[in-house]
Amino acid sequence: MERKEALELFERLYNRPAEDLFTAAGRINVIGEHVDYCGGKVFPAALNLRCNVYGRKNGENVIRVAASDLKRVVELQIDRIGEYKSLKWGNYQAGVAYYLKESGTPLVGCDLLYDCTVPFGSGLSSSAAIEVSTAVALSEYAGVAYDKVQLALISQKAENKYAGVNCGIMDQFASAMGKKDHAILLDCATLDYEYVPLQLGEYCIVVANCNKPHNLVESKYNVRRHEVEVALKKIQEVKKINALAELSVKEFGEVKYLLSGVVAKRAEHVVTECARVSEAVAALKRGDIVELGRLLNESHYSLRDLYEVTGKELDMLSSLARKETGCLGSRMIGAGFGGCTISIVKKSAVEGFIRHVDKAYFDAIGYRASFYETSIEDGVTVSKL
């Protein structure tokens, strides 16, 4: 929705004009998939696709939330903020408000309108964008100093407890801490991070959504998380580690005999993916985009064969991408089971790449993929209207 339209809608819904705009980003993840909850390093970047929240204080003891595509106002009474867990829409905001309050931030009544340009269920973290933008808006209205890393942690808690997804910290961290034209090398065990320029020379990243209908992603995600916990417990019987990511590929080889079946496969993905993250960051830093592309492909194959979170749509989309001249690598991003791929494509070849992959994907799958024009931006913005 255009800003003008959103401002008009705000006035229609709340009878007064909006005064502020808070935004938080969706994200891609260059590499490091399904390792954040295993203490690994991830390498995400914040996008121009974002959750825009228009707001103003209302002087009452209520937080009102509405969405541009629902046009219905949901009231969250501040005194009863813990009672909205089962809301169909508004539960993310209620969860963030609840945990903010628990962390000592006073809640101040306000009217908020959400206009999210991150496609839902796309693997680009629309939920993190909603959570983080809410955390920023409520903290700003509380008039307290805030730390964006803490807001990311509060947002993650809301996702874990209110949305029932046992996710790691990657998405909320990227949404809150993203920096224009940089990816964030984030150590999920310590939350230490480093911004690395995402400079790809004559190449760029193309984001494509396979458009597979969203189906039980949350429960399948939680199953994977359980499987790696089983692996960790087994290995801890013989080795003193706190997280799977602490194992090198060699060390994992020495203890692999303790694991079997899917548990062994899941753990192997985690350990090898962690190694790929370090290699990929080193390749990017020395400008070796060919090697970066190869590692993206390896990551996809591991997510397909060992972690088993791809599915025929993501496999098709990424393999069609790989066949295109000018494409150095392609992989699924996010939780998987649907959602998006990223591909590294020569800038001069992007148009043909999209045209060919779009057609071939439709021919193979029977419905179309979507391709997004993306750029890497700051995670959070706050402005007066």
CA-to-CA distance for 95 and 114, rounded, in angstroms? 16
Q: State the catalytic residues.
A: 171
Q: What is the dihedral of CA 58, 380, 131, 59, to 10 degrees?
A: -10
CA-to-CA distance for 43 and 196, rounded, in angstroms? 9
By CB under 6 A, the residues from 324 to 383 that bind ligand GLA are 334-335
CA nearest 72: which of 13, 21, 31? 13
On whether the CB atoms of residues 118 and 50 are closer than 8 A, the answer is yes
Angle between helices 126-142 and 148-162 (to 10 degrees): 120
Q: In what order do the strands lie in the sheet with 370-372?
A: 327-332, 340-346, 203-209, 370-372
- Rg of the chain over all Cα atoms, to the nearest angstrom: 21
Contacting range for ligand GLA; rule: CB under 6 A; set: 14-22, 29-37, 173-181, 311-319: 29-37
Contacting range for ligand GLA; rule: CB under 6 A; set: 33-41, 45-53, 253-261, 275-283: 33-41
Q: How many Cα atoms sit within 13 Å of 10 on the Cβ side?
A: 27
Instruction: Give 333 or 349: the residue with its C-beta nearer to ligand GLA.
Output: 333
Q: How far is the CB of 108 from ligand GLA (least distance, A)?
A: 29
Among 115, 171, 268, 377, which residue sits at the site for ligand GLA (rule: CB under 6 A)? 171
Using rule CB under 6 A, residue 273 touches ligand GLA: no
Using rule CB under 6 A, residue 37 touches ligand GLA: yes
Using rule CB under 6 A, residue 33 touches ligand GLA: yes
Instruction: Give 68 or 209: the residue with its C-beta nearer to ligand GLA.
Output: 209
Distances (CA, A) of 26 to 66, 247, 328, 348: 19, 30, 24, 26
Q: How many helices (H) and strands (E) does the chain have?
A: 11, 13
Instruction: Give 74 or 176: the residue with its C-beta nearer to ligand GLA.
Output: 176
Site string for ligand GLA, 48-87 (x = CB under 6 A): ----------------------------------------
Site string for ligand GLA, 123-152 (x = CB under 6 A): --x---------------------------
CA-to-CA distance for 64 and 76, rounded, in angstroms? 6
Contacting range for ligand GLA; rule: CB under 6 A; set: 28-36, 92-100, 106-114, 279-287: 28-36
Q: How far is the CB of 185 from ligand GLA (least distance, A)?
A: 14
Residues that bind ligand GLA (CB under 6 A): 33-34, 36-37, 125, 167-168, 170-171, 334-335
